[in-house]
């Protein structure tokens, strides 16, 4: 029964800091802004190693972690202009998910009821939300939403 307290600890930490947490059936992924990596833990809280290696694919200051329906993992980075896409099993870099539109400090991601992937931006010039066609498996160029 250590799983529930461990998950609660990760969730509380995520609410009060810049930590993102994403869980599968067997492990928890946690961003590491200080090392530009995504770390893996088992459900008991034991460290398993890096899931996304430090700086892989140019990842800088990982913010949010999101599981795509195709099995890949999407990661936003405080120092990036694109959403990074990684293999959901190995953590290997697959390329930029967002293309055709430069994001300005992408932060949080969420899928809306309209099947669009919404991404907040906290850059100095674009404090807006962007949306992409979720089922297309890639970012579709669209202007920011007001």
The pLDDT tens digits for 129-140 are 666 554 434 444
What lies within 8 Å, CB to CB, of 85 at 6+ separation is 68, 72, 73, 74, 75, 93, 94, 95, 96, 97
Task: Supply the mean pLDDT for the chain.
Answer: 76
- CATH number of the domain at 3-136, please? 2.130.10.10
Q: Return the closest-CA partner of residue 94 out of 124, 69, 65, 72.
A: 72
pLDDT above 90 as % of the chain:
36
| pLDDT digit string, tens, across residues 19-76 | 666 767 788 999 998 999 999 998 888 999 999 999 999 999 999 999 888 889 999 9
pLDDT above 70 as % of the chain:
67
């Amino acid at each position: 029964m250590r799983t529930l307290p461990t998950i609660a600890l990760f969730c509380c930490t995520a609410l009060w800091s810049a930590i993102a947490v994403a869980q599968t059936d067997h492990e928890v992924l946690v961003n590491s802004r200080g090392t530009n990596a995504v770390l893996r833990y088992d459900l008991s809280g034991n460290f398993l190693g890096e899931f996304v290696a430090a700086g892989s694919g140019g990842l800088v200051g990982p913010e949010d972690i999101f599981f795509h329906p195709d099995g890949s993992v999407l990661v936003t980075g405080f120092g990036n202009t694109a959403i990074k896409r990684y293999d959901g099993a190995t953590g290997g870099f697959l390329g930029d998910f967002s293309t055709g539109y430069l994001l300005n400090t992408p932060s949080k991601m969420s899928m809306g009821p309209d099947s669009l992937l919404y991404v907040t931006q906290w850059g100095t010039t674009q404090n807006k939300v962007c949306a992409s066609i979720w089922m297309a498996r890639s970012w579709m160029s669209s202007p920011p939403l007001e």
